[in-house]
Chains A and B, each alone.
Chain A
């Protein structure tokens, strides 16, 4: 599904990712954890195609056999990459329903799937909005405008459920959420888990991983993956914090 080799990235002359390697097989859920400033969000944004980040020479990202770095953000989205934003943007004047209809069909068209008719789209949206526990009226409102933090994250999960991406990246979607909202996030992910769809869950807290059981947990530190384990690694981090890993990393480098 996704193969990252020697990925380096910087923003405004600050080096953030320093030779990151990661391989994700179809159907796998990978959690990325790590202290603040370790590069978790940078990784998520570089994968999505945010142009402010400069990807270093020698970096390779292959997505479903194609060179991902060749594509712009919107091409990546249409090819099946989805980023759930840490801070979803409020867009007054763009109605949620109109926006959703547009993006569902633009993604379906690119992937050679049949476009949906307006009634089909409406039916689908009404069905999926129940999954994220938002009132139907939200479809008529401007995108994220005046939504609470939790409502914005639920709206991200709604888009995830509607777009059915091949690789979904959740950038600290659980940060700032109460338990109920976090369960919604977990439910959507678990609902969509299937053998040809992969997830990258960037999180600061182990709590979410009680509900989404990852295949692998990676710890990111100073722009590299310094440790990889299974779900037990998340528990270990929860108990011991990151300091022991930082020391370990310092000792080996």
Chain B
């Protein structure tokens, strides 16, 4: 509770802002919510005790060097950079003046002053089945000091992607940050958003990024959303991303989970109009005691909609992975096409993967498929590659890369595809240098 008071004090002076009532109600609700326990089915494999136990402080502004900032650049990638140090926007490091045509960025208070936007936001914040129940989303609402609205105008194609650069520093005390982003993508608009997560102390920095993203896609809107997660190996992330899709819209998510001590993704897409398409692609690579949990939901409520889901991961040492892929096809959602595949490679005896496809189908004229495989590296393939002169390590890396390639191939942007490949290679190479946490 001391943490809450610290935040409340930090928020003093915002009381007159209209968003404050949302915050107030979230703070009130927190009194009645408790953190999930192992007996909660949705958190069965991911003990949050480890995440919520540290005595967190409010994040400082953080000190970063030019070199550290440069290291966050994605080679050959022409994104408009918005740099967040410890989840706080730093305009002086950002391409703040170069925002693409058709995109307006507002803070919550500015957004609430525009009646049409305010209405959309209120809908986005309430039109959510988990609203009020999920303690982490509620925490975020209560304490998000960095909340922004990204509004893309009707029929606009954003000519450059937005690159959200999250850079976390190492501080004396673990800290807790609650960034919140709302995306309003109007009818016929197209946009790409990239989130990258890094730390200036990749092996040591202790923090908890509790992230909330909400997307509203108008009719025929298209969004590519990338998450290149390479948090500190002592950092935690819980990522709640919810997408509400209008008719004929396409939302594609590409997630690479490589860093972090424990990472939980709650990625939920709600299709609200006909012929909406949801693509969820994820790759992860865990070692030591890393823990990656991806809970996805595709909610098919309307006829003639599609979803494609592919998650692949590699786990070694004592790393643990969880995939829970829920697909709900409501009674009226006839002619739904839903595809889901989850495959994992376990490279050690102690690595554990829990895979749970969860299909709830109430319509009768649908095409739904799912598959989950958990296997090991094929030793015949290792031998074949080695027999041509590749070292054992190179051979295994090549095969692991090949395994994740199926996910990487879904990434339409070549620079980002290469970036993910590089992050994976780097992770193989760092294997021997990272101290046990």
- Interface residue ranges, A against B (CB under 8 Å): 48-51, 72-74, 77-78, 82-83, 85, 88-89, 91-94, 99, 102-103, 106-107, 110, 142, 159, 163
Contacts and interface: CB of A to CB of B under 8 A. Distances in A.
Given A92-B402, A93-B401, A93-B403, A78 B389 contact: yes
B388 interface: yes
5 contacts: A72-B392, A74-B390, A77-B387, A94-B401, A99-B388
B258 interface: no
Interface stretch (B225-233, B249-257, B376-384): B376-384
A74 B390 CA distance: 6
Contact of B402 (A83, A91, A102, A107): A91
Nearest to B404: A93
Contacts of A49: 387
B117 interface: no
B250 to A, nearest CB: 26
Chain B contact residues: helix, strand, loop or mixed? helix
Nearest to B405: A93
Contacts of B384: 85, 88-89, 91
Contact of B389 (A74, A88, A89, A94): A74
A159 B388 contact: yes
A182 to B, nearest CB: 22
B152 to A, nearest CB: 35
B128 interface: no
Given A74-B392, A74-B395, A94 B402 contact: yes
B386 A73 contact: yes
A73 B383 contact: yes
A89 B380 CA distance: 7
A77 B406 contact: no
Contacts of A85: 384, 387
Given A94-B398, A94-B402, 9 more contacts: A48-B387, A89-B378, A93-B399, A94-B399, A99-B385, A99-B388, A106-B390, A106-B391, A142-B402
Interface residues of B, number: 22
Contacts of B398: 94, 99, 102
B387 A83 contact: yes
Interface of B: 378, 380-381, 383-392, 394-395, 398-399, 401-403, 405-406
A50 B383 contact: yes
Contacts of B390: 74, 102-103, 106
B402 A74 contact: no
Most buried by A among B381, B387, B395: B387
A110 B389 contact: yes
A89 B381 contact: yes
Nearest to B388: A103
Contacts of A91: 381, 384-385, 399, 402
A82 B389 CA distance: 9
A162 to B, nearest CB: 10
A110 B388 CA distance: 12
A163 B389 contact: yes
B120 to A, nearest CB: 42
Contacts of B401: 93-94
B386 A74 contact: yes
A131 B395 CA distance: 27
Given A89-B381, A91-B381, A77 B403 contact: no
Given A89-B380, A91-B399, A94-B398, A74 B387 contact: yes
Contacts of B389: 74, 77-78, 103, 106-107, 110, 163
